[in-house]
Amino acid sequence: MKGSSQSQSQKRWFTIGLVSAWYASNIGVLLLNKYLLSNYGFKYPVFLTMCHMIACSLFSYIAVVWFKMVPLQTIRSRLQFLKISALGLIFCGSVVSGNVSLRYLPVSFTQAVGATTPFFTAFFAYLMTWKREAWVTYATLVPVVAGVVIASGSEPSFHLFGFVMCVGATAARALKSVLQGILLSSEGEKLNSMNLLLYMAPIAVFILLPATILMEQNVVSITVALARSDIKIIWYLLLNSALAYFVNLTNFLVTKHTSALTLQVLGNAKGAVAVVISIMIFRNPVSVIGMLGYVLTVTGVVLYSEAKKRSR
């Protein structure tokens, strides 16, 4: 009995450690992105995203092929490769749009908009598969959207272009999750998230390289010049890129060691923690009505998760 109790305690602490690492990497990359793109003045979101994808390509290869953290799943056909490429393109769009929005909007507001992901997921699922949810599930999406409308109307640092980019990033994330379920639904094509990232990240680099050259000319020479005057920019970029990979790694491990419901609850709480920490660090002005709007959105997301669970 004593051994069993000790094993349970170790398992509990292991899970707590995993969740803490997931929170730290998620919130860390978000705050560092904001600092680099807005406060530090490194105004190159496409190049920054490419750095993230290079790190994800390298670390994914090391984790899957060298350390064999999960069994390597091979691409079985040209069609499967095209499907993964389509997901990679949408993934690129979501990350780039999210990084662009951080140039113009505070983290607290982007988290409020990001919480509307269930709304877009339900919308795309209906549009692409004609899958209908119970009316109660759709009703829970009303406070999700209403909260963002309220938060937008009272956001002191509201920026229209940043808002459009943030909504685009949220919609792209939802579209990727729906498409992933459709495109890789057969048993022969299913990939776990670690293997999917292994293949998607290099495709993303291939897409982002010409985009960086066209949209952010001379970014490499500008970064080198910056590094000569402030070497910290290199360390910021390296840490930021490593964190981008660990977001995906810890997300996979938390999913593996907890239930889907626990993951949803933790995800909702993570957004709230990110809001509080970002306000403490960046001191961005937040109105009481704006915070109430965010609380309304998170409440709607919790109700949506509960309604989805009951409808299964």
| pLDDT band for position 103 (cuts 50, 70, 90) | very high
Residues of the chain by 3-state class (helix, strand, coil), percent to 5:
80, 0, 20
pLDDT of residue 291: 87
Q: Residue 223 has which token pair?
A: 């970064």
pLDDT of residue 197: 94
Structural contact between residues 167 and 158, judged by C-beta atoms closer than 8 angstroms: no
Query: Rounded to whole angstroms, what are the CA distances from 232 to 36, 48, 50, 223, 241?
Result: 11, 15, 19, 11, 14
pLDDT of residue 222: 94
Q: What is the pLDDT of residues 160-194, one digit of tens each?
A: 999 999 999 999 999 998 998 888 877 778 888 89
> Which residues neighbour 205 within 8 Å (Cβ) at sequence distance 6 or greater?
50, 53, 54, 57
Q: Which single residue is written with the structure tokens 């929170």?
A: 23
Residue type, position 160, single letter? L
Residue type, position 120, single letter? F
Q: Give the gyration radius of the chain's Cα atoms.
A: 20
Structural contact between residues 50 and 209, judged by C-beta atoms closer than 8 angstroms: yes
- Cα 276 to the chain's mean position, in Å? 18
111 CB-side CA count, 13 A = 27
pLDDT at 298 over 80: yes
pLDDT of residue 70: 93
pLDDT of residue 2: 53
To the nearest 10°, report the CA torsion of 152, 154, 160, 165: -40
The angle subtended at Cα 171 by Cα 120 and Cα 299, nearest 5°, is 50
pLDDT of residue 199: 96
> Which of 47, 70, 73, 48 has its CA nearest to residue 199?
73
Average the pLDDT over each of 95-104, 196-205, 256-265 and give the range with the smallest value.
Answer: 256-265
Q: Residue 199 has which token pair?
A: 């293949």
Q: What is the pLDDT of residues 107-155, one digit of tens each?
A: 989 988 998 888 898 889 889 888 787 788 888 888 888 988 888 888 8
Q: What percent of the chain has pLDDT over 70?
A: 96
Q: What is the pLDDT of residues 281-293, one digit of tens each?
A: 888 888 888 889 8
pTM of the entire structure? Answer: 0.89
Query: Rounded to whole angstroms, what are the CA distances from 44 to 31, 114, 163, 208?
Result: 16, 21, 18, 12
What value does the mean pLDDT of the chain take? 89
pLDDT of residue 4: 62
- Residue extents of the structural domains in the chain: 12-311
Q: Output 213 or 188, whichever has higher pLDDT.
A: 213
The angle subtended at Cα 303 by Cα 264 and Cα 286, nearest 5°, is 80
